[in-house]
Structures are given as C-alpha cells and as structure tokens.
Chain A
Amino acid sequence: MNDLAGQILATLHRIAPDVDPGTVDRTLPLVDQLDLDSMDYQNLLAALSTDFAVAIPESDVARLRSIDDLVSYISRKHRAT
C-alpha cells in the first residue's frame, strides 16, 4: 500500500515538478493543498491511468481527490482484474 502511494506521488511529481511530494498529506484533497488547477489534475489522472493500467471513467473522477482515495481506487481495480 505504501509502495503504491509512493508510486502515485512519483507520478504527481512528474506532472507537477514544482510540487514537493514530501509535503503531501495523503488524506487531504490534492487540488486544494497543492494548488493544482483542473488541467494539472486531468494530467495526473491521465498519467495514473497509463502508469497503472487502470481505466478511470468520467463518473469516477469527482471522488478521486486525495492520495488515499487514489491508493484505494487503484488497489481495488487491480484486485478486480
């Protein structure tokens, strides 16, 4: 689980190199705590979808807000396949 969070943070750092992954609170919405705009967040979800080979349908986007949300979402998708 921790490893997955670390990989997600690495993807985040790739799309937003100006953000320090060490400062991220995994429980808080990323957009608010890191001042991401909608394009950054779209870039993050698109990159995660590619990196982890999970489809992220439009209907799921609104509830993926924090690192913890993303970890549990990707874990569940991987278990389901």
Chain B
Amino acid sequence: MYEIRMPSLGADMENGTLLEWKVAVGDHVARGDVVGLVETQKATMEVESFVDGTVEALLVDPGTKVSVGTALARLRASEEPAVAASTGPPIAAPPPPIVALPAAIASPVPMPPPTPLAAPVASMPPASASRVRSSPAARKRALELGLDLEALHGTGPHGAIVLRDVVPPAPVTPAPMPPVPRPRPSTPSPAAPVTSPLRDAIAATMSRSKRDIPHYYLAHSISMKRAHAWLAESNARRPIQDRVLPGALLLRAVALALDEVPELNGFWIDGAFRPSEAIHLGIAIALRTGGLVAPAILDADDKPLDELMRELHDLVSRARAGRLRSSELTSATITVTSLGDRGCETVFPIINPPQVAIVGFGAIVERPWVEGTAVVPHPTITATLAADHRVSDGHRGGLFLTAVDRLLQDPEKL
C-alpha cells in the first residue's frame, strides 16, 4: 500500500491545496502518471504517482487545504494483492502518523494490518521500505528530510540512491522581479493584503540564504558576436519549430563549464559540501502572475544543444500552464537565472539554498568591444556568479566564468 502525500517544495512550505483529481478510485496508474493538481505557495504543480498501482481511495476533496505530508490518496501497488474490502468488516486502518514522514511525497506504508496500526512508519520492515536501491546513510538522511527515496534520482552504483542524491527540495530562486500582488481567491489572506504566500516564501528563503551563506560575487563581460552569428546562420537552415535561442547556448556552456569547476555544483548540508556528480540545471522562470519557479533540466551536461532547447521550451510552456511536476521542482543542483531580452545588463543573484552557487545572465546588449586596435560594437552579455565561500573562492569562480566565455566563443562545438 502506498500513499501519495502533499509534497513539500521547501522547508518554508507548510501546506497546499488539492485543486483537482486526475484519477478516480479503481483507476490504474503507472509510475510517473499525474494523479492530481496541487496549489502551493510556490506554484501550481502536478503530483505524480511513484509506483505502478491502482487507486484505492482518494482521501482529500478538491479545494481542501492540508498540511505538508498529509495523505492525499491511497494506492495498491501492482504486485500487491487486492484488499478484501468487499466481505467482512471494514478494515480499520487509520492513516499513518504523518509526523513520522512530514514531507514525503509518496511513501510506502505497511499493508493494512490485522490489528490497528500502531507502529510509526519509520519503524517499518526494511523489505517494504526499500523498493529502490539506496545506501543506509541516504535512507537516514531521506527520513530526516522527510523525502521519499522513490522520488529521488540515484547516481550511485546501478542507479542506487546515495547520500549525495538526498537533497532537500529546492525552493524558488531569486531574481529581480517587481512585486506583483497575486489575487488568490482560493486562499484568501485578509490579514496580509499586500503580500502573497509566494512572496512570503521567496522572502523566507532569501533571508535564510543571505543569513547563512557567505556569498561572493563575480561578473564577466562576454562577447556574443560569434554566438549570434552562428545562431543566425544555423537558424536560417531550420524550421521555426527547431530554432535555437541564445538561452539554450548559455545553458549548454554553463553545464560544460561546471564539469571543469565541480565545486559549484551540489549542496551544503549539515555543515559540509555534498558535491553532485549529476548536473541538474534549475531554470529560474518568472511567472507573470507573480514570483518565479525554478524547475530543473536533468543531466544538462549530457544533453546536446537541440535537446536542451526542446526541454527549455517544454519547461517554460508547462510553467506557464501550471503543469510542472513536483519532482522537477526539487532536483536542481545549481540555478541559472537569465533576465532575457527585456531585462537590464547585470543581475546579482542570491543562492538558492542548499545549493552553493547561482549563475546569472543579463540581457544581450550592443557595447563597444576592443578588437585588436579597433573599438567596434559587439553584442555582449554580462555573466555573473554568486557562490558560497564555504565551498569555493573567487579564483575558482573566476575560472568558471572564463570557461563559460571560452565555450561561447566556439558555439559550433556546443
């Protein structure tokens, strides 16, 4: 028996509202299928099933606001026998204590026992708890963080989840945005008419970042002349659907440069740096309804330019439609914030904890550039880096930004 619970998108999130069920009792769902829509402080998102199984019960009605960790639905995994509910007395299986796994997205719970459920979820037998390969340290850490192992991406042997994979959900990331009060009729907040829950969540996360992380900041001007020329030439041969935007080139350069300076990619947890082998780029997307979200493009360093562009296209479209998935919002190992065409020249970003670095790009603008002995106009972009001094320093950060520059000067190789 599995339960799908109100997911947590960050330590600051306390509750969420179930908006809609996408499944009904009796429906078969496959792992990864969307079962419902949830509205949180951060965003509207899709909640996925993390098992193959059958929906046995929907425990929360649409429109209900519940705390993080509350069971929303109960599933029977495909390999489990059906519960004999049609004969005999109803099975008195009380919901498991949610305090044991406060932020689990979907957690296996024991089969309905013959006696009332007394043992906390945390003490269930390992056999039913570990359907995914994971290290003991990873399981312990996941329990501490209230994360479900099945929702995590394993980078250990045979895809096992190891300690470095167990990272808390990424909250929203910083980027200069005009505060736009967002009317939220479903969660009226008469006591605070000026702020919104999303704004409160951003403020709490950024305050924590500024308080706890000793940031250092670097900036570097990069000529985009070659990149622009290459894109123009390359896009002229493509149908509009396959057009590549400069943003995808920037992401590709960041992902490859992180291979050279890996100490910018990972997490600061419990007083230590946990590097991540996988490079999952969180993409800060400003929402026109106010605030922003940062879903991740997974394994960005392994994806060619065209694929990065397709994924970027897909992420932005789904962010606009409120169709991001909970797993996408919790996996970034570093964040990239790009102001875009209509932005200003330079962004000084704030690290999204527990990540240890954030990369910023301003708008591409025409600026004087020295070519040999001449000064000529070049499209230029200012790349910035905010990074955690507990992990790296300006020397390494500078090597990262110059690596991004170097890579962008050979766009055909990206």
Contacts and interface: CB of A to CB of B under 8 A. Distances in A.
Interface of A: 15-19, 31-32, 34-35, 37-40, 42-43, 45-46, 49-50, 55-59, 61
B236 A37 contact: no
Contact of B286 (A31, A37, A46): A37
Interface string B314-354: 00110011100000000000000000111000000000000
B140 interface: no
Contacts of A40: 316, 320
Q: By CB atoms of chain A within 10 A, which of B240, B243, B246, B316 has the most?
A: B240
A46 B288 contact: no
A28 B368 CA distance: 31
Given A58-B243, A61-B240, 9 more contacts: A17-B322, A35-B288, A37-B342, A42-B243, A43-B316, A49-B241, A56-B240, A58-B236, A58-B238
A58 B245 contact: no
A69 to B, nearest CB: 15
A15 B247 contact: no
A15 B320 contact: yes
8 contacts: A18-B289, A19-B288, A35-B342, A37-B341, A46-B241, A57-B236, A58-B240, A58-B243
B188 interface: no
Contacts of B313: 39, 42-43
Interface residues of B, number: 25
A40 B313 CA distance: 8
Interface of B: 232, 235-236, 238-241, 243, 245-247, 286-289, 312-313, 316-317, 320-322, 340-342
Contacts of A42: 240, 243, 245, 313
B239 A49 contact: yes
A37 B240 contact: no
A15 to B, nearest CB: 6
A46 B243 contact: yes
